[in-house]
Amino acid sequence: MTFFPKLSPGLLAPFFAVFLGLAVFLAEPLPLQVLRNAVFDQYQRWSPRPYQSAPVRIIDIDEESLQKIGQWPWPRTRMAGLVDKLRDSGASVVALDIMFAEPDRTSPERVTTDWELPADIRRRLESMPGHDEILAETLAEGQVVLGFAAENNPVTRRLPKLPFRFVFSGESPLPHLHSFSGAVTSIPLLEKAAAGNGAMNFIPDSDGVVRRVPLAIQIQGQAVASLAAESLRVAQRARNYIVKTLPEKGAGIQEIRIGSITAPTTPRGEIWVHYTKPVPERRIPAWKVLTEEAPREKLDGHIVLVGASAQGLMDIRFSPMGTVMPGVEAHAQALEQILTKTYISRPSWAAAIEGLTILAGGLAVGIIALSAPALVSACITAAILFAAGWGAWIAFVRYHLLLDPVTPGLALLAAFILGSIIHHRTSERRHRWVREAFSRYISPNRVDYLVRHPDQLELGGRRQECSFVFTDLAGFTGLMEKMDPADAVSVLNAYLDAMVTIAFGRGGTLDRIVGDSVAIMFSAPVAQPDHRARALSCALEMHAFAFGYAADCRAKGIELGQTRIGVHSGEVIVGNFGGKTLFDYRALGDAVNTASRLEGANKYLGTLICVSEATLQGCPEAVVRPAASLVLKGKTQPISVYEPLAAPEANGGKPERDTAYEKAFELLKRREPLALEAFERLAAERPADELVRLHRDRLRSGKKGDTIILEEK
């Protein structure tokens, strides 16, 4: 097994897959981002952040609060009362995840304008303070943060009130912050009174899931704090934000310092939120605060975020945990992480590690897939993929790092698949070449059978009925002495090639080639119900070729002899015979020997094809004439043999029965005295018919019957 195969254009495909994977990784198309985020979400579901008690609470305007207090929007006076009660309970800051973009419609001045009222009631209402003024007075007492919604709307060009200052350490972070053209803010009266003003915006991914919360954004070239960041700033009574960028030019933001707290961020000024499972302790229903049923210890010294979870208020977001949540939940969990310093992060070097994994791992997998066996390469690739996935998981669980196993995994898998396909195609070509080469030594059907049944490559055999064709080229040994050896080999190779091709064409299996002799068997290794008919038709086709080939050779001055063929069928043992080091596939049994003897019997009978009765039992349409009842050397029982008749050219290729011969042979078989007269007459009519002449001469010598005992093989 070589691990550094010679490279060709095809073999470069896995390496192309690696570099394509790098290109896709750098381009970060949307489907890849979705897959990566799905893996990060799964990490959080498997290992959510353990909840630690932190001074952060959500005052939840939930369905129960709406039922008890009244429908939304609540009057600003009620919101003022809510803020007062929270402040009285010791809240360090109250952040309202609510926008007051329009004046309160329930305020007295709006009622006197919109309603038809009696004069005295109108005068009394006009003397009452407006609800917005009441809320503004409450906000002015300090430690309250309002929220606004930044947006990219050509019409909205308003900047929110900025009660803070940003200080930059390093290059300007503004190009890296999420950019907006303007904001929808609370009315100026309230905005001016509040101690802080923060963006309520999230930047969800394409699937709408809130995975990161920005600490800063930019509007019209101005850095603006988020609601969570403002809550921290106001809680510490700090004035400035310090934004530090990474040392590398254009690398983005490294961290944001808020008062005494430093929060590491993404290059765009966000923090990844590691969510906990739902925790009831985090929330207090708003109605309990308004009815003074909320425990003071749960609010004292806490950052309090007021937001809505009621479905009808439309502040519902998707969470990586696979659930929905109110938007204020993301702000709260981000604050918890900052205060407990339990961050998850995707470090700046993560992309370099992932790219290196694609490059090194992909090249390794590609080389292994090209050279190693399929199972080995698959196991190694699976191990590398598992190691990458396990490493990313351990990095998350132990070190709270977000490393992407998806893109490297896909690139490695692509390199493996391409490498495996090319390896398979290369192996296929090599196997096909070996198979074709192997088929030149043994029969193609034997090769096919072994490919499908490799278990048959073992010593031993099985009983099977087969048919055999044995051929021999008469006088070739003497011809070899007269010819140039190179010419003789050329003549013999052309002859054998055609004979073997005919056998393969009929589905025969080459048993052996010995000199100019060929032995073919049928119905092995694959059983052939018509093996007798195949053997006979093969013999006839071989005879036709050999007769024509000999004529062509004689025309060239090469005195090539005729081919004698013996055909027989019977039960034999077929299998692999030899030793553990080397064995041969062949058939053993009397039928094999008989077929060989029948080929030799042609020389005595004067025939060119000698077929046994056992073979003709499977050839009902064969046109033959009886030759003799032979007792072969070493045998005691006679065997009936026949000579197939060739088709006369004038009869459209269909042979005719030799009735005159059959009648004479029947007389011979019955030992009739008229047998000699019949064969004398036939011999006179057919002086070239050697079989007729044989029987005539036997009858002349006083022999009777059709039984002939052969003394030679």
Cis amide bond preceding 525, omega within 30? yes
**Residue 328 shares a structural domain with residue 351:** no
18 and 154, same domain (yes or no): no
Q: What 3-state class would DSSP assign to 124?
A: helix
Is residue 278 located within the same domain as residue 420?
no
712: three-class secondary structure by DSSP? coil
Is the sign of the CA dihedral 291, 294, 295, 301 positive or negative? negative
| Range of weakest confidence among 209-213, 296-300, 505-509 | 505-509
Query: How many structural domains does the chain have?
Result: 3
pLDDT on residue 267:
93
Give the SS3 label for residue 511.
strand
Mean pLDDT for the stretch of residues 648-654: 55
What pLDDT sits at residue 186?
92
Is there a domain that residue 538 lies in?
yes
CATH number of the domain where residue 592 is located:
3.30.70.1230
* Segment 320-325 mean pLDDT: 90
The pLDDT of residue 475 is: 84
387 and 278 both lie in a single domain? no
User: In angstroms, rounded to a whole number, what is the distance separating the alpha carbons of residues 377 and 363?
Assistant: 13
Q: How far apart are CA 256 and CA 169, in angstroms?
A: 10
DSSP H or E segment with residue 616: helix 613-616
Same-domain status, 188 and 267: yes
Whether the predicted pLDDT of 8 surpasses 80? no
Residue 3 has pLDDT above 60, yes or no: no
Residue 431 pLDDT: 64
**Residue 312 predicted with pLDDT over 70:** no
Q: Binning pLDDT at 50, 70 and 90, where does residue 441 land?
A: very low
Amino acid at 32: L
Q: Taking residues 334-345, report their average pLDDT.
A: 93
Domain match, 245 and 353 both: no
Q: Report if residue 176 sits inside a domain.
A: yes
pTM: 0.64
Helix ranges (DSSP H) in 636-673: 659-669
**Between 431 and 60, the higher pLDDT residue:** 60
Residue entry with tokens 């490279």 = 7
Clarify whether residues 399 and 546 are in a common domain. Answer: no
Two tokens, residue 708: 């002939």
Q: 525: which DSSP letter?
A: S
Q: Which of 436, 453, 479 marks a domain boundary?
A: 436
What percent of the chain is modeled with pLDDT above 70? 88
Q: What is the DSSP letter of 585?
A: E
Task: Give the residue ranges of DSSP H helices in 47-164.
Answer: 63-69, 76-88, 108-114, 119-126, 131-140
Residues 165 and 131 in one domain: yes
pLDDT band with cut points at 50, 70 and 90 for residue 122: low
Q: Which run of H or of E encompasses 486?
A: helix 485-505
Residue in the block written with tokens 């988020």: 226
Contact 139, 167 (CB under 8 A): no
CA 371 to the chain's CA centroid: 19
Q: How many Å apart are CA 106 and CA 104, to the nearest integer?
A: 5
Which pair of tokens denotes residue 305? Answer: 């975020």
Q: Is residue 479 part of a domain?
A: yes
Residue 262 lies in a domain: yes
Query: Which ranges of 270-404 does DSSP label H, i.e. alpha helix?
Result: 286-290, 327-340, 350-356, 362-371, 374-399
Residue 633 lies in a domain: no
pLDDT tier, 5 (very low <50, low <70, confident <90, very high otherwise): very low
Q: Quick one: 507 and 612 in the same domain?
A: yes
Mean pLDDT, the chain, whole residue set: 86
Q: Which of 622, 645, 671 is the last residue of a domain?
A: 622
Choose one of 436, 453, 486: the last residue of a domain.
436
Res. 1: pLDDT tops 50: no
The predicted structure's pLDDT at residue 481: 76
Per DSSP, 202 falls in state -
- pLDDT for position 28: 83
Residue 642 to residues 566, 627, 630, Cα–Cα distance (Å) = 10, 5, 10
Please, is 681 exposed, middle or buried when counting C-beta atoms within 10 Å of its C-beta (0-12, 13-18, 19+)?
middle
Rounded to whole angstroms, how far apart are CA atoms 482 and 476? 10
Read off the tokens for 415: 């390199």
Once rounded to an integer, what is the mean pLDDT over residues 3-10? 49
Distance CA 180, CA 153 (A): 8
* Residue 32 belongs to domain spanning: 10-44+347-436
Mean pLDDT of 364-368: 82
Let me know whether 229 and 173 are in one domain: yes
Do 487 and 515 lie in one domain? The reply is yes
In a domain, 276, yes or no: yes
Q: Cα–Cα distance between 382 and 388 in angstroms, integer?
A: 10
Is residue 608 a part of any domain in this protein? yes
Phi, psi of 494 (to 5 degrees): -65, -40
The predicted structure's pLDDT at residue 2: 43
CA distances in angstroms from 526 to 256, 398, 438, 713, listed in the order given = 80, 63, 18, 30
Query: Same domain, yes or no, for 38 and 57?
Result: no
Q: What's the pLDDT band for 145 if we cut at 50, 70, 90?
A: very high
CA distance 151 to 57: 27
Mean pLDDT lowest among 47-51, 122-126, 356-360, 404-408: 122-126
Classify the phi-psi angles of 187: left when phi > 0, otherwise alpha if psi is within -120 to 50, otherwise beta: beta
Q: At residue 111, does pLDDT exceed 80?
A: no
Cβ-contact 227, 147 below 8 angstroms: yes
pLDDT of residue 651: 46
In this prediction, residues 287-310 reach a mean pLDDT of: 92
> Is residue 650 over pLDDT 50?
no
Amino acid 429: pLDDT: 74
Tokens of 292: 């003074």
Has residue 165 got a pLDDT over 80?
Answer: yes
**Lowest mean pLDDT: which of 27-41, 210-224, 229-243, 456-470?**
456-470
| Structure-derived torsion over alpha carbons of residues 329, 335, 337, 338, reported in degrees to the nearest 10 | 160
Return the minimum-mean-pLDDT range out of 511-520, 573-582, 670-679: 573-582
Average pLDDT over residues 588-605: 92
Q: Are 695 and 680 in contact (CB under 8 A)?
A: no
CA nearest neighbour of 251 among 176, 201, 356, 350: 176
**Per-residue pLDDT for 572 more than 70?**
yes
Residue 690 lies in a domain: no
Report the C-alpha gap between 193 and 172 in whole angstroms: 30
Q: Cα torsion at 42, 43, 46, 48 (round to 10°)? A: -120
